[in-house]
Structure 1
C-alpha cells in the first residue's frame, strides 16, 4: 500500500506543484552559506555561482556563499563545522553521507514542518506525503528531499571500450567473483588502467553492494543495524550486518582483489577519484544508483562511455528515499530564506538547470526546449543533477530518452518493497552508542572497504566487530527491534 501511494502520485505532483513569488526588493538582503560535496574544484564554478546569485538576488534578495567541498573532504569538513557550532545555513545530508539520523540526534538540524508549509508549498506538493514520512524523526521533518528516483539498484559501471575489446559479457555477472575474468584481463592487457575504481573516497564500496547482498540499512550507511530484504516474518528482525556471512564474503573478496592488484595499492590514501575518472583509468566501478539515463549522464560528464549494469534487483526503501537531501542548520540566522532557496531549486527550472549544467553557450548548447548538448572541455561539469533539487526538472542529455522520467516512474513502480518500507528510526535513545560506533566505523571501514588489509582481512574484521560490540552495537540492535515491534503493532 505504501508503495502504491508513493508512486501513484509521482508524475501528477510534478504538474501540480504551486510556486510562490516573492518580491525580492521587499526582503532584507542576506547571504546564505551552503555546504555540499562534488567533483570540485571546477574551473568555472565561480562564474556559474555569480550568475546564480544575480538571479537569486532578484527573486529573494539573497546570495549564496557556496562552500563546495570535494567528495573526499566533505564529511570531515561538515563534521567539524557542526561539532564547533559554527553558523551556516544549508548542508547536504543523507543516509550514506553526513549521516542524517545521527545529525538529527545531535541536534544539528532544524525541524522544518512549519517552514515548509510557509515558504516551500511547491516543494511540499511535489513530494508525495509517504516520502515526507520517510524523513520524519519523532514525527518531525528535518530533511528536504531532492526528488528523483526513489528505489535503489546497485550497479556495476564498466568501461565500454574494454568490454568490447575483451568480448566480456556483463550479463554473466551475478556475484562479485563473476567479475574476475574481466579484472584479470584489464590487469594483464591494459596495465595503465586500474581494474576497479575502488578507493577510499565517496560513499564506499560496500555501499555499492549492500542491496545486492540483501540488506536494508536502518541507522545509516555503514552503521550497524539492518534487516534482510528477504525477511518474511510478521515483524522484521534487526541484525548487525557486519556479523553476517555476506559481509565476511565481501571483505574476503575485496582483500583478495587488493592482493591480486585489481585495487590500486594506494587506494586507502585516495580521497578524490576525480583524476582517475577524468583519465578513464578504471575498468569497472561500483556504487550510486543504477537508473534510467545513467550511461548518458556519465558520457556527458566524463567524455567516455560506460555500460551501466544492475547487480541487484530494484528495491524501494526508506533509506533510498532519504539518500539525497538538504537540511537547515540549527545555527542558521536565516532559515526562512534558506527554505525559499530550496523552494526555488525544486520548482524553478532556470535556477536548477543553471546550477546543474552551467551557462548556456558556455557550458552547453540548447538543442530543444528541454534538451541540451554539453560543450566539450567546458569548465563546469559537476554531474550531480541528483544533488541540487528535483531532478525531474533537468534538461535531457544526448542519449537520454524523451521518456526518461516516465521510465524512472516505471522503475519505481516495479521495485520490490523493503520489509521496512515506511519505517523511520528514532536514534535519540541510542545516540551515544551511534556516535561511538560511528568512530569505530571511521577507524576500520575504509581499510576493509578497499581491501587494504590484504592477507590480514580476517583479523581486521574480527577486531572491527569486537570494537563495535564494545561501542554499543547490541543496544542499537535492541532499540531498532523495539521500534520495529512498535511500528508493526501500530499497523
Structure 2
C-alpha cells in the first residue's frame, strides 16, 4: 500500500508540475503575441534556435555570427544554428521534446514525424501567427502548398517552396546511353525500359542492368497516393475512395513483372540491401547501368556532381503531387518557443529575403562562395567541394528555394524548370488529407510487423507475386487490417465533407 501511495503521489506531483509549466508557457505566448516588445513598442533582443538534421560545418559559428548581425538589424534577433546528425536525430530530438527544452524552430516532414508530432501538440498552430507576422508567406507559397501542409484543417508547419510533386524514373549511365544511342527523352513505358535493360544484359556481361529495389518504390509512388498499410487512392481516381493495393490487379501484375526481371538476371545480387549510393558507385566503376529515383529538374546534374560520374535522367511517369510531397520539408514552431512571433518573423524573412536565405544555404559571400553573376556563384579561388568550410546544410530544408543562388555548373534555367514542374504536376484528389493513426495504433503496430515479413522480398522480384501477396493478406487480416481500413474510410469521408 505504501509503495502504491508513493507512486500515486509522484504521479500527481508530475502532473501538477506539467500543468504549472503549461500556465507559464501561456504567459510567454501572451508576451510573444505582442512580438516580444518593450513599453515603447520596440522589439526586445531575442535568440532564435533553429534545429535541423545535418553535420555541423567547420565554419558554422562564422555563418551564425553573420546571420545574427543581419537579423539584429532586421528583427533585433540573433540565431543559434543547431544541426543534429541524421543518425542521432531521433534520440536527441525526442529528448528535447519530452524534456520541454526551449527551442524555436525544428525541421519536420510527412516522412519525419510531422503528423505524429502535430497530433501530440509539439508544434503551434500557425495561421494566426502567419496572419500577423508572416504576411508575405501565403503569396510566396501559394494555396496548394498551404493546403497540402494542413492536418485536420490546421497548419502546424510551413513547407519549403521547392518542387511541388515529383516525377519518376531512372538515372542512367551516360556512357552506356551514348554507346547504345538510347532515347531518354519523353516518358518511357515499362516496355521501353525493358528493352534497354535487355540490351545491357545481352551486350555488357560485366554490367548489372538495374541496381536496388528502388524501382518498385518509384513505381508505387507514381501510381498511388499511399495513405497507410498499403491502403491508397489510385492516381487518376475521380472519387475519394481508398483501395487495398494488395487486391488491385494493376499492383499484382506489376510484381509479377518484377519476378520476370529477377529471373532475367537484371537486378544486382545485393538487391535486398543496395541503395542509391551503392548504385552510383557501381555506375562509376562501369559495373552498373541504372538506378530508379524520384526526379526533378537537374537531378542528373546534381547526382553527377556528387558522385563523380555522369548520369542522365529518364522519366517513366509524369509528375504527381500528394500530401506527402507538399509536406516533404517543413519548419514548425515548437510549443516551447519563448517568442513564437519572432520565430514567425524569421520564417517570413526566409521566404522573402534572398540575402538571409543564401547565408544559411551557402555561407558568407567572399569567404565560402563568390558571385559570378547576380544569381550564379562558385567556390573562391583555391577552394573546392572537398576543402570548403561550410558545405550546404541542405537548401531544400529552408524557406523559398527559388531565391537560392545557383552554382556555376547548374542549369541557369533550373528554377524556371521547377516552376514548370509545379504548374504541370497532377494533384492527388486527396491532396491535404493526413491520416490520424491514434485510433488504430495497436493494429498498425501489428500490421507493420507483418509488412516487414513480406514487403522486402516482394520488392526484389525474387518470389512468386500471387502466392506471396495471398499469404501477406492472410496474416495482415489477422493483425486487424479490417479495423484500419474502416478507420481510413471514416476519416476520408469526414475530410471530404469538410472540403465542401
TM-score (norm 2): 0.73
Aligned to 1:224: 230
Partner residue in 2 for 1:56: 67
Q: Are 2:150 and 1:139 equivalent residues in the alignment?
A: no
The answer to whether residue 489 in structure 2 is matched with residue 481 in structure 1 is: yes
Alignment counterpart, residue 462 of structure 2, candidates 450, 454, 458 = 454
Aligned partners of 1:403 and 1:395: how far apart in 2? 12
Deviations along 1:216-249, one digit per CA (max 9) or x if unpaired, are: 2235xxx4332122323xx422112233233334
Aligned match of 2:170: 156
Tell me, in whole angstroms, the C-alpha distance in 1 between the residues paired with 2:173 and 2:393.
18
Name 1:4's counterpart in structure 2: none
Shift of 1:160: 1.4
- Against the structure 1 CA distance between its residues 418 and 269, is the aligned structure 2 distance closer, same or farther, given a 3 Å change threshold? closer
Instruction: Answer yes or no: is 1:414 the counterpart of 2:411.
Output: no
After superposition, give the CA deviation of every residue in 1:458-491 in whole Å (9 maximum; x if it has no partner). Answer: 5544444344434443333333333443444552
1:273-288 alignment runs, 5 A limit = 273-274=276-277, 276-277=279-280, 280=284, 282-288=288-294
Say whether the 8 Å CA contact 1:35–1:78 is kept in structure 2: no
1:47 aligned partner: 58
1:382 and 1:426 map into 2 onto residues whose CA distance is: 33
1:347 and 2:382 equivalent?
Answer: no
Match of 1:67 among 81, 84, 88: 84
* Secondary structure of the corresponding residue to residue 231 of structure 1: coil
Equivalent-residue separation in structure 2 for 1:253 and 1:364 (angstroms)? 48
1:297–1:383 Cα contact (<8 Å) kept: no
RMSD of aligned C-alpha atoms?
4.1
Q: Indicate whether 1:469 and 2:480 are aligned.
A: no
- In structure 1, the partner of 2:26 is none
Please point out which of 438, 443, 446 is paired with 2:452.
Answer: 443
User: Does the 8 A contact of 1:90 with 1:326 survive in 2?
Assistant: yes
What is the aligned counterpart of 1:208 among 210, 213, 218? Answer: 218
Unaligned runs of 5+ in 2: 1-34, 72-76
Q: Does 1:165 align with 2:179?
A: yes
Tell me which moved more, 141-150 or 424-433.
424-433
1:247 aligns with 2:251: yes
The aligned residue for residue 397 of structure 2 is 387
SS of residue in 1 equivalent to 2:296:
coil
1:17: which partner in 2? none
| Cα distance, 1:293 vs structure 2 | 3.1
Task: Report how many residues are paired.
Answer: 447
Cα distance, 1:474–1:339 mapped onto 2, change above 3 Å: farther
Distance 2:338 2:264 in 1: 53
Alpha-carbon distance in 1 for matches of 2:323, 2:433: 7
Mapping for residues 292-307 of structure 1, pairs under 5 Å: 292-307=297-312
The answer (yes or no) to whether the contact 1:150–1:320 under 8 Å persists in 2 is yes
- Match of residue 16 from structure 1: none
Aligned partner (choices 356, 360, 363) of residue 361 of structure 2: 356
1:216/1:317 contact within 8 Å kept: yes
Q: What's the CA shift for 1:46?
A: 1.4
Contact 1:174/1:311 (<8 A) preserved? yes
State which drifts further: 187-196 or 240-249.
Answer: 187-196
Structure 1 unpaired stretches of 5+: 1-19
Decide whether aligned partners of structure 1 residues 434 and 417 sit closer, same or farther in structure 2, where only a CA change above 3 A counts: farther
Shift in CA distance, 25/312, structure 1 to aligned 2, threshold 3 Å: same
TM-score (norm 1): 0.74
C-alpha displacement of 1:340: 5.0
Correspondent of 1:268 among 269, 272, 286: 272
Equivalent residues of 2:457, 2:463 under 8 A apart: no
Task: Summarize the Cα distance change of 1:147–1:75 in structure 2 as closer, same or farther, 3 Å threshold.
Answer: same
CA apart distance, 1:145:
0.6
Distance 1:273 1:361, change over 3 A: farther
Q: 1:456 to 1:416 in 2, by over 3 A?
A: closer
Greater Rg over alpha carbons, structure: 2
